[in-house]
């Protein structure tokens, strides 16, 4: 007497729709990291009249994509990742060839540009009109 029919309400978002949603999400992330669920649904051609945006958001959460606040730095693109890896490898080679590279070859200043020291050439209880600055590079 056991039947294989499912009981209850049928799912509104089918497995095929989930896969399409995930494919579109990955495409949009490759183009740029900042987009909304509504924009994702419009690009994918999903009908917002029958299924709400909130239901799509829940589906994305179950797939493993949660809403995150936009970072000021942005996400690391594939090109940036390649450049960072090339730089790291180049620095490792340089360090192997020249063990004192970080101590002897690199000049460091406090703010990354230069260090400026202001000095006054005045007697104690008098005001000076001009401050002289020394620049150390």
Query: Is pLDDT above 70 for 12?
Result: yes
Beta bridge partners of 135: 116
Please report, in angstroms and rounded to a whole number, the separation of the first and last CA atoms in the chain: 88
What pTM did the predictor assign? 0.51
pLDDT grade for 134, boundaries at 50, 70 and 90: very low
In whole angstroms, give the CA distance from residue 18 to residue 35.
Answer: 18
Burial of 17 (0-12, 13-18, 19+ CB in 10 A): middle
Q: Where are the alpha helices (DSSP H) in the chain?
A: 15-31, 37-44, 53-63, 78-97
Instruction: Give the residue among 76, 77, 80, 78 at the shortest CA–CA distance from 88.
Output: 80
Q: Is the pLDDT at 98 greater than 70, yes or no?
A: yes
With contact defined as beta carbons under 8 Å apart, do 34 and 70 qualify? Answer: yes
Q: Which two tokens mark 52? A: 């709400």
Tokens representing 4? 């294989």
Cβ proximity of 136 and 116 under 8 Å: yes
Region 75-83: mean pLDDT is 84
Give yes or no for residue 33 having a pLDDT over 60.
Answer: yes
């Amino acid at each position: 007497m056991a039947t294989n029919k499912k009981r209850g309400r049928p799912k509104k978002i089918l497995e095929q729709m989930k896969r399409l949603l995930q494919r579109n999400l990955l495409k949009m992330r490759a183009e740029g990291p900042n987009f909304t669920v509504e924009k994702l649904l419009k690009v994918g051609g999903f009908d917002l009249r029958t299924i709400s945006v909130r239901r799509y958001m829940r589906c994305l959460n179950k797939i493993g994509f949660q809403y995150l606040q936009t970072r000021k730095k942005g996400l690391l693109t594939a090109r940036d990742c390649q450049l960072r890896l090339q730089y790291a490898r180049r620095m490792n080679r340089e360090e192997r060839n020249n063990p004192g590279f970080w101590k002897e070859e690199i000049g460091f200043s406090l703010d990354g540009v230069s260090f400026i020291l202001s000095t006054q050439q005045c007697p104690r209880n008098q005001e000076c009109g001009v401050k002289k600055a020394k620049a150390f590079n």
